[in-house]
Amino acid sequence: MAAGFASGNQVMGAPRTADFLEKASWTLAAVIVFLSIFAVGVHNGQANAARMDESEIATQVQEAADALPQPAAAETAEPAAE
């Protein structure tokens, strides 16, 4: 009866398939962790670049607004004293 269960460790009849699947699983898990950390780093880099772009745009808009001619202030007319 034990001989019938001894081959239960062989997947699809290939010996040591469980070892391969375990190594492949650990490798894929490590790759996913690495890619996750890498993606966070790339995202933070792009977010910082976007913030810098926004501040540069705000600076350029302010400089352009300062360069525009300012409308003449309306002079207040004082009532004539009679």
pLDDT tens digits, 41-60: 887 776 666 666 677 777 87
- Does residue 58 lie within any of the structural domains? yes
- Does residue 12 lie within any of the structural domains? no
pLDDT at position 41: 83
- Does residue 44 lie within any of the structural domains? yes
Residue pair 50/57 in contact (Cβ under 8 Å)? The answer is: no
pLDDT at position 1: 47
- Does residue 42 lie within any of the structural domains? yes
C-alpha 24/C-alpha 1 separation (Å) is 32
C-alpha 14/C-alpha 58 separation (Å) is 65
Give the pLDDT confidence of 5-40 residue by residue, as tens digits.
Answer: 555 555 555 667 788 889 999 999 999 999 999 988
Q: What are phi and psi of 16, to 5 degrees?
A: 65, 20
- Does residue 43 lie within any of the structural domains? yes
The total domain count for the chain is 1
- Does residue 41 lie within any of the structural domains? yes
Question: Which residue range(s) make up the domain with 57?
Answer: 34-63
Which residue type sits at 30? A
pLDDT at position 78: 63
